[in-house]
């Protein structure tokens, strides 16, 4: 609930669209024929939370604070990377039970939006340390961070050792972890920008938000390289921070009419079976979720 420099994850209250394709549900329901396995981690108003992917009562992770956000599970489901701070954010890692918190970056400008390398050995993140949003990576064994791409506003790390990222005008690009072979994957248009991109666990598809005017109000899926994007859903509410379930059958995302009303939802990859997993309300919010089938509730 903090960054103004990333369209993919920025949470800015906006005016509702007059055209509503569907309405988000007021309550959460699970579909008995389609169980969702695993644990979802998300950002709450007073710290990080976890909730069973199939529904239940969210639980706060100990030793997390109100300004902790953008959590992502490690590939083994044992650790969570997140960013912490106000005007100067840094990257942290913590065990799923709230123990062994470790600060990884300490630049004087924002470091935010971490994403794991598929084997858990490194993290990609977005940094403002050079006066603009660029893509960085940090080696967890040695604690060394390096810039891998200029002009990156959201990123994720594929199995094929390429970091996918969206540039400042919404093009989808990719680059190798050491900064070579920076190339276009999808070009943005007036109708389509690649905001808040996430790649599925098997690298077969990406999910992202897009809008032709103002904040994003639509959720799309596409192949990482080439092919036409498919709209999963569209709503009058603002949509942020989509992420795939490990099996690629579900997408979590945050949506709401204002910052203090954001909730976390799950929806089938075909746009069906919409379910609210964590509710926001006046003075509270639920945002920026990630899903693991290997993680366990504390």
Residue 271 above 90 pLDDT? yes
- Which helix (DSSP H) or strand (DSSP E) does residue 42 occupy? strand 39-44
Cα(13)–Cα(166) distance, rounded to whole angstroms?
Answer: 22
Average pLDDT on 205-229 reads 87
Share of the chain above pLDDT 90, in %: 69
Residue 11 above 50 pLDDT? no
Structure confidence at residue 19 (pLDDT): 27
Task: Categorize the per-residue pLDDT at 29 as very low, low, confident or very high, splitting at 50, 70 and 90.
Answer: very low
Burial class (CB in 10 A: 0-12, 13-18, 19+), 207: buried
Average pLDDT on 249-266 reads 89
Looking at every residue in the chain, the average pLDDT score rounds to 86
pTM: 0.89
Whether 109 and 88 have beta carbons less than 8 Å apart is answered as: yes
**Which pair of tokens denotes residue 11?**
């949470």
Task: Categorize the per-residue pLDDT at 211 as very low, low, confident or very high, splitting at 50, 70 and 90.
Answer: confident
Greatest extent of the chain over all pairs of C-alpha atoms, in Å: 51
Structure confidence at residue 26 (pLDDT): 42
- DSSP single-letter state for residue 284: B
Structure confidence at residue 21 (pLDDT): 34
Whether CATH 2.120.10.30 fits 39-292: yes
Task: Categorize the per-residue pLDDT at 283 as very low, low, confident or very high, splitting at 50, 70 and 90.
Answer: low
Residue 20 above 60 pLDDT? no
Nearest to 278 by CA among 62, 95, 59: 59
Task: Categorize the per-residue pLDDT at 282 as very low, low, confident or very high, splitting at 50, 70 and 90.
Answer: low
Structure confidence at residue 197 (pLDDT): 95
Residue 236 above 90 pLDDT? no
Residue 250 — φ and ψ, nearest 5°? -135, 160
Average pLDDT on 130-152 reads 94
Instruction: Quick: pLDDT tens for 30-80.
Output: 444 467 999 999 999 999 999 999 989 999 999 999 999 999 999 999 999
Structure confidence at residue 230 (pLDDT): 93
Provide the β-strand partners of residue 124.
Answer: 115, 137
Lowest mean pLDDT among 105-114, 146-155, 187-196: 187-196
Structure confidence at residue 24 (pLDDT): 52
Nearest to 268 by CA among 47, 31, 88, 98: 31
Q: Could you give the dihedral angle defined by the CA atoms of residues 127, 190, 195 and 27, in that order, rounded to the nearest 10 degrees?
A: 140
């Amino acid at each position: 609930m903090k960054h103004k420099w990333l369209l993919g994850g920025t949470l800015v209250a906006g005016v509702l669209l007059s055209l509503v394709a569907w309405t988000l549900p007021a309550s959460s329901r699970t579909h008995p024929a389609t169980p969702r396995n695993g644990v979802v981690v998300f950002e709450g108003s007073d710290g990080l939370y976890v909730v069973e992917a199939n529904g239940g009562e969210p639980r706060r992770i100990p030793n997390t604070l109100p300004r902790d956000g953008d959590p992502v599970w490690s590939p083994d489901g044992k650790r969570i990377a997140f960013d912490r701070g106000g005007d100067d954010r840094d990257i942290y890692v913590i065990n799923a039970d709230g123990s062994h918190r470790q600060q990884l970056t300490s630049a004087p400008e924002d470091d935010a939006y971490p994403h794991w390398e598929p084997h858990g050995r490194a993290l990609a993140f977005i940094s403002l340390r050079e006066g603009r949003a660029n893509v960085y990576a940090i080696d967890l064994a040695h604690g060394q961070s390096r810039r891998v791409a200029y002009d990156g506003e959201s990123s994720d790390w594929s199995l094929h050792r390429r970091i996918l990222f969206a540039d400042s005008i919404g093009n989808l690009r990719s680059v190798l972890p050491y900064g070579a072979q920076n190339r276009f994957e999808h070009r943005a248009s007036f109708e389509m920008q690649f905001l808040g991109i996430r790649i599925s666990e098997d690298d077969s598809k990406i999910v992202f938000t897009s809008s032709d005017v103002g904040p994003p109000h639509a959720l799309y899926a596409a192949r990482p390289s080439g092919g036409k994007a498919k709209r999963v859903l569209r709503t009058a509410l603002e949509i942020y921070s989509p992420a795939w379930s490990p099996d690629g059958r579900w997408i979590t995302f945050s949506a709401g009419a204002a910052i203090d009303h954001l909730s976390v939802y799950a929806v089938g990859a075909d746009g069906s079976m919409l379910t609210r997993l964590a509710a926001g309300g006046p003075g509270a919010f639920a945002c920026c979720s990630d899903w693991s089938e290997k993680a366990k509730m504390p």
